A = this chain, B = another copy of it.
């Protein structure tokens, strides 16, 4: 396993938590109390991190929210703040491009922002992923079956082989892409039966599972169907925007802890 997966395992055991909090920090949803802050985005993240860092196995900033408003500096500061707490960071960027461009995205994720892991998109195939996969020290989560409604449009098409596209992606991940033992899969937590399908193909490959909270996934079902390997359970909006009052960080902690405890109550397999 890569250094990232080791550090996730360590953090999971220290905090007794498989919870990842997604830092999808929407400037329009930042509580009024921070609106006059010189850097509302970083201040919001800092308060969320202060309130939850003993409850998580990692954080997952979603880069789109920062890019939309030119808040790269706030993201850099957030990454540094998380790093100073000793918590692993998964940068959710879902990049995918030809090899020479992919190298630039590798630099963005790992050199510029210092991420420990990333999400990537497999549509452009092996050479678009290879610069990421070459990073033995990092965690590389490849989109397999995503939690959104449109996830079925291409991912659930049935191939001539009888496999669905997402099953074929899982198969390639195991057979061809994981030579450095640094690959995980993004497996949407909203379709329990499909989680089982993917687990059967991938053995103990780590899953990043978005869909809990605002997207409404059933925690018990996903914990049962995903068993057999490490699972990182992500919640973003339900934690971040638990309250828009001055108690936002207290409420975020409550929701995060409730999710952590719910996950643990169904836990069969440890990270």
The residues of A with any CB-CB pair to B shorter than 8 Å are 24, 26, 62, 64-65, 67-70, 72, 94-102, 104-105, 107-108, 111-112, 121-130, 143, 146-155, 157-160, 162, 165, 168-169, 172, 237
Contacts and interface: CB of A to CB of B under 8 A. Distances in A.
B94 A97 contact: yes
Contacts of A157: 159-160, 165, 168
Contact of A98 (B128, B148, B153, B158): B148
Contacts of A121: 94, 96, 121, 123-124
Contacts of A96: 94, 96, 121, 123
A215 to B, nearest CB: 8
Nearest to A146: B124
> How many subunits of this chain does the assembly comprise?
2
A102 B149 CA distance: 13
A65 B103 CA distance: 9
Given A105-B68, A121-B121, A158 B160 contact: yes
B154 A108 contact: no
Contacts of A162: 160
Contacts of A172: 153
B158 A143 contact: no
A113 B127 CA distance: 28
Contacts of A168: 154, 157
A239 to B, nearest CB: 15
Given A96-B94, A160-B160, A168-B157, A125 B152 contact: yes
A64 B126 CA distance: 18
Contact of A108 (B67, B97, B101, B155): B67
